[in-house]
Amino acid sequence: ETLTQHWESFGGAEAYNCSAMSGFPNFFMLLGPNATTGHTSAIMAIENSVNFALRILKPVLGSPKGAAELERDAEERYVNRIQDDLSKTVWNSGCQSWYIQPQSESSRVWNAMVYPYSQGYLWYRSLFPVWRDWKISMLYGKNPDAFEKEVFEGLHTAAKEHEVWRRRGSVGKWHNFAVEVSRSDTWTDMLKKVQAVESQLSDDAQLKKHRPRASNEWEKVNLTRAGHIKKGSKLPFFLKEENRMTPDDWHVLGTLYDILLDFQLVVRGLEGDGQGKHQRKVEENEIDPPLSGTSWDLIHAYEFLLETLESAKRAVANFPDGHHLAVNINLGWLKLNEYYEHLNDSPLIYGAAVLHPAYRWALFDDLWGDDDERQLWITKAKEMVRNLWEREYLFECHKPTLAYRTGGSSQPEDIK
C-alpha cells in the first residue's frame, strides 16, 4: 500500500498524532497532516513530532529488525476524533479556506491542515504515548556462535526454527495475552476474578488471603451447560488452546524472571542501592562480595552475571524447547562478555582493584588464573597498570625539589 492509497482509504490526508500511520512501521513525518496551528510556531510542532518519534522508536533502536507499527483501529479512532472536533470550528463552517480539502473522498468536509487543540496538548500527547495503540516487535540479534552445535545439523535450520519459536514461544504467548487483556477493561476485571479463584486453589498462604469474588465470567456467560460455546459467542484469541500458557511455558518464564532479577540486583548494587527489597539476596550472599557501587565492583558484577547465564543454560537443558531458550541465553552471554572485554579500554578499573589492600593482583589470579585465555587478560592488565604508573605517577614520586634564594628572587637556586 502506498501513502496515497492509504490516505484515500480514509478519505483524505491524515496521521496519528500528526506523524504516524498504520502499515508504515518505523515511519514518522514532520509537520504531517493536522500538525500546525495558526497561533503557534511550526518549530514547536516539528519538535513535538521529533520527540514523539524518538519515544516510540526507543524500544526498537537496539534491534536490527525491530519495528514499531501503529494499530489500524487506533489510527481510525484518532482520525475520527480529530475530524469530528474540527467540524465544530470556524474553518469547517462553510467559509473558503486553504485548510479545507475541496476534493475529499470522504462524506465529510476534510481538514488535513490545522490541529484542533493547542500545541501544548500535542506536546503532552508526544511526551506520553499511548502504548496500547502500538505493536512493538523486537527481534534479537543473530550470531552463529550463540547456537549450540548439537541443536541441529546446520546452523541455518537452527536459526529458522529459532525465529519461529521466538514469535510463538512462551514469551510470545505471554506478550499476546498481556496485550489483549490490557486493551479491554472487561477482560482486565475478569482476569482479576479468575486470579481470585485460582488463589484459593494454591497452597501459598499469602494467595489464600485474597477472597474470590466470582467464577470465570466468560464461561458463565458464553458456555452452555454441556460446556459448548453459545451461538454468537466467540472464544477470545488468548483463550484458544494453542495460545494458552502451559506449565512448561511458566517454567520458561520463571527462568527468564530469575535471570532478569539477577541483572536488576546487580544494577541496584552498582548504583549503591543494594538494600531494601533486594536485601534478601544480599543476605543469602548470592553476590560475594556484596556490591556497593565502587569501580572495582564491575569485575565482580560481570563474573556474577556470566555465572548466572551459564547456570541458567544448564537449568534449561531438560526444558521443552530448551535448546531454543539456550540460544537467547548465549546471545546474552556474548553481549555481556563483549562489555566485559571493554575493561581493557582503560586502566582505571584494574588500577583501582590492584590498589585495594584486600585484593591486589590476587583478585585477578583467583578469577582468571584457571583459564588459559583469561591469563592473557592478567598479562594485559599488568601491562596497562604499569604504563599508567610510569606515565602518570612515577615522575611525581621522583620529582626534583626546588630550593629558592631568600633574596626575593623567584628563580631556583639549585636542584636537589
pLDDT value at residue 178: 75
Q: What is the pLDDT of residues 26-49, one digit of tens each?
A: 999 999 998 888 777 889 999 999
Residue 181's nearest CA partner among 194, 171, 190 is 190
- What are the tens digits of pLDDT across the range 103-123? 555 567 888 888 888 888 899
More confident residue, 399 or 164: 399
- Domains of the chain (ranges, CATH numbers): 3-137 (3.50.50.60), 145-243 (no CATH), 248-397 (no CATH)
pLDDT digits (tens, 9 = 90+) for 221-270: 566 666 665 665 555 655 666 667 777 778 888 888 888 888 888 888 87
Instruction: Annotate 284-353 with DSSP letters as a single string.
Output: TTSSSSPP-S-TTHHHHHHHHHHHHHHHHHHHGGGSTTHHHHHHHHHHHHHHHHHHHGGGGG-SHHHHHH
Q: Indicate yes or no: pTM above 0.85.
A: no
Q: d(Cα 246, Cα 374) in Å, to the nearest integer? A: 42
Mean pLDDT of the chain: 74
Q: Phi and psi at residue 137, in whole multiples of 5°?
A: -120, 120
Res 36: pLDDT: 84
Task: Tell me if 139 sits within 8 A of 211, measured CB to CB.
Answer: no
What gap in Å lies between CA 358 and CA 352, rounded to an integer?
Answer: 11
Burial of 364 (0-12, 13-18, 19+ CB in 10 A): buried
**Angle, alpha carbons 270-268-259 (nearest 5°):** 105
- Residue 383 C-alpha cell reads as 601491562
The pLDDT assigned to 161 comes to: 46
Question: By percentage, how much of the chain surpasses pLDDT 70?
Answer: 65
In tens, the pLDDT along 182-210 reads 767 777 777 777 777 666 666 666 555 54
